[in-house]
Structure 1
């Protein structure tokens, strides 16, 4: 395999996953040393690709380019939480996480990964337990979600519906 073919295969591997891939896993998959992977990543970055190195591996930002941030009002009940999440998934979105800005601790983030009614049901079952506290209680007015959508139009529909339901924080 030529070096160009190897870099193309490396790119395909990174695009396939929406989570970081360890350099050691890439070197095994490509049958090269870890140092060759590091050099290939550097060359791919130089060509304009946004590849970031995290503590758990490499991820290409192009693989998550259809993610959008949205501010929502904090909930006063589980019904409001359910309505917010259900609205987003009904319109084709995936709620990747919740982010709050805590006055003392700064930005706090928790993964949700709610994309289907089944995911929502499991999440709401957890929310019904006495140990569950919404992360949004740590922030006075709003919380932020990262929404994954197939395109900008789907995201705008989600945003419009949340605004119509008085869920969007403006």
Structure 2
């Protein structure tokens, strides 16, 4: 397969996928090394295609979704943290990132890309290590998440549920 054909096929595979695809999986599918995939992704990005690298793999950013940044209360325990993530994911949302505002360093943002219960379980397992500290400990009261859903109705349902559960900082319904 020629280079141009491989890149077109790679782009086609990513366009058809609703979920991130690991670089190793793409490499196996296209019968090339992982490094070739990394180079191809960089060249495809250079043409203006918005390919995002997540911990779960590569995905093309779809701007046909509803996105909102929400301010959540900091958690006093792991169950509250788990409940926050489950509320968003169970209603069809994705937790894109966590953002904290530090008084000295400014805004600190980390991509999470949590879109399924499996993602939550993996994240909670990684974060169960005694050495793990949530970014939200850097602030006293709150942290931000960018959440994404297929449409505004789903996003509104997520926000309403988070308000009902007293997870959001602004506890007044619109």
Same fold (TM over 0.5): yes
Equivalent-residue separation in structure 2 for 1:143 and 1:64 (angstroms): 26
Structure 1 counterpart of 2:96: 96
2:101–2:107 contact (8 Å) kept in structure 1 = yes
Q: Which runs of 5+ in 1 are unaligned?
A: 1-8, 27-33, 42-50, 53-59
Q: Deviations over 1:28-85 (max 9, x none)?
A: xxxxxx7xx5xxx6xxxxxxxxx88xxxxxxx98626422111100001001000000
* Number of positions where the alignment pairs a residue of Structure 1 with one of Structure 2: 132
Q: TM-score, normalised by structure 2?
A: 0.65
Structure 2 counterpart of 1:79: 79
Structure 2 counterpart of 1:143: 143
Equivalent-residue separation in structure 2 for 1:159 and 1:108 (angstroms): 23
Equivalent-residue separation in structure 1 for 2:108 and 2:89 (angstroms): 23
For the pair shown, which has the larger CA radius of gyration, 1 or 2?
Answer: 1
CA RMSD of aligned residues (A): 3.0
**Aligned structure 1 segments of 4 or more residues deviating by more than 2 angstroms:** 15-19, 60-66
1:98–1:111 contact (8 Å) kept in structure 2 = yes
Secondary structure at the residue paired with 1:147? strand
Equivalent-residue separation in structure 2 for 1:76 and 1:146 (angstroms): 21
1:78–1:127 contact (8 Å) kept in structure 2 = no
2:65–2:150 contact (8 Å) kept in structure 1 = no
Equivalent-residue separation in structure 1 for 2:128 and 2:96 (angstroms): 20
Residues 92 and 61 of structure 1, relative CA distance in 2, 3 Å threshold: closer
Structure 2 counterpart of 1:48: none
Q: CA deviation at 1:148?
A: 1.1
